[in-house]
Amino acid sequence: MSLLRSREALLALAILVLIGVVAARFPAFVRPANLANVFNDTSPLIILAIGQMIVILTKCIDLSVAANLALCGMVAALMNGAGVPLALILPGVILLGAVLGAVNGVLVWKLGIPSIVVTLGTMTIFRGSIFLMTGGQWVNAHQMSDAFKALPRTVLLGLPVMSWMAIALIVLFTVVLTRTALGRSFYAVGDNPHAAVYAGINVGRTQFAAFVISGALAGLAGYLWVARYAVAYVDIAGGFELDVVAACVIGGIAIAGGAGTVTGAVLGALFLGVIKNALPVVGISPFWQMAISGAAIVLAVTFNATQSRASGRIILKSAEAR
């Protein structure tokens, strides 16, 4: 556990160094208002990364998150257009997202299909459904009510509601993962599914739960995304699932399952968020952004690999006590 913690500390340090380097040339970047802005901008990524991290913990992967987000966002926009009050839209899209996640979960649990195949399929189905629902039409800002668009931007105690939601979810899922029986079973299932069976844990049902959580979070993020950018169409958040997986990998979530923390996923997301917001300020082309994100992923994976190699068979008695 101490290794994990130091890995997260290292990542936090990398983020601080990054911010420091940018601040050296553009002091305005570190003004609290701007940092709050960066955090707010990264909030959807953080929310999705938390869900993805739980799925990855159980040895699965959810490639359908961005498509789920787009579908739920479109449904939110359409509900709004039909005059449904926001107090119903919000729980509605979270529920819809959870149901879409449950579809993934059932296919993985009951049919035993590898999750990468299942979610690759549902990803396309979800995007296709948006097209079927709208005929490819956009829902634009002027077709959305003011209240619908205002919620994520409403500032409470110096931060927009969207940021507060991300913070609340970070706290909530930290508690779920460290302090609940369900959270513990996510780790056990991913680390050693055989042993989990023997301990009375239903592996498939636990993976199902992970997909439902990931889906529900994607549903919420769908509303936030559409309301914030005030536009909904088939291709919103296209390819965003890869950013989400990248955030998890950079955050030290073991792709083979069983290891990782909410803090790690959040830091991974923030790392990508800072790069995305800082590089244009420094005047570096967006292609460099991609190269830097890519390098960060490779570095993170290399780092994880070397760390897990260090602990192999402990043969020496003296090493055992460490």
Q: How far apart are CA 12 and CA 80, in angstroms?
A: 39
Q: Write the single-letter amino acid at 89.
A: I
Q: How many residues bind another protein (CB under 8 A)?
A: 31
CA angle, residues 185, 8, 17, in degrees to nearest 5: 160
Closer CB to another protein, 83 or 200, in the complex: 200
Chain residues 243-282 in contact with another protein, contact rule CB under 8 A? 258-259
- Given candidates 197, 242, 290, 299, which one binds another protein under the rule CB under 8 A? 197
Per-residue string for binding with another protein, 149-188, x by CB under 8 A?
Answer: -----------------------------xxxxxxxx-xx
Q: At closest approach, how far in Å is the CB of 173 from another protein?
A: 14
Closer CB to another protein, 38 or 182, in the complex: 182
Q: Which residues of 163-184 are buried (b: 16+ CB within 10 A; e: fewer)?
A: bbbbeebbeebbebbeeeeebe
Q: Which residues of 227-238 are buried (b: 16+ CB within 10 A; e: fewer)?
A: bbebbbbbebbe
Q: At closest approach, how far in Å is the CB of 190 from another protein?
A: 8
Q: How far apart are CA 61 and CA 240, in angstroms?
A: 14
Distance of CA 14 to CAs 20, 147, 272, 299, Å?
A: 10, 39, 11, 12
Q: At closest approach, how far in Å is the CB of 153 from another protein?
A: 34
Closer CB to another protein, 121 or 204, in the complex: 204
H or E segment to which residue 32 belongs: helix 32-57
Q: At closest approach, how far in Å is the CB of 203 from another protein?
A: 10
Residue 138 neighbours by CB under 8 Å, 6+ apart: 231, 232, 233
Helix, strand, or coil here: 312?
Answer: coil
Closer CB to another protein, 122 or 206, in the complex: 206
Binding flag, residue 194, another protein (CB under 8 A)? yes
- Given candidates 133, 191, 229, 301, which one binds another protein under the rule CB under 8 A? 191
Q: How far apart are CA 170 and CA 181, in angstroms?
A: 18
- Given candidates 196, 237, 279, 292, which one binds another protein under the rule CB under 8 A? 196
Q: At closest approach, how far in Å is the CB of 89 from another protein?
A: 29
Q: At closest approach, how far in Å is the CB of 317 from another protein?
A: 8
Give the pair of three-digit tokens for residue 271: 């790392």
- Given candidates 89, 96, 103, 201, which one binds another protein under the rule CB under 8 A? 201
- Given candidates 117, 171, 195, 299, which one binds another protein under the rule CB under 8 A? 195
The length of the chain is 322
Residue 56 neighbours by CB under 8 Å, 6+ apart: 190, 245, 248, 253, 254, 255, 257, 260
Nearest to 48 by CA among 298, 205, 253, 233: 253
Q: At closest approach, how far in Å is the CB of 85 from another protein?
A: 32
- Given candidates 134, 202, 289, 307, which one binds another protein under the rule CB under 8 A? 202
Chain residues 282-311 in contact with another protein, contact rule CB under 8 A? 311
Residues that bind another protein (CB under 8 A): 1, 178-185, 187-188, 191-192, 194-202, 258-259, 311, 314-315, 317, 320-322
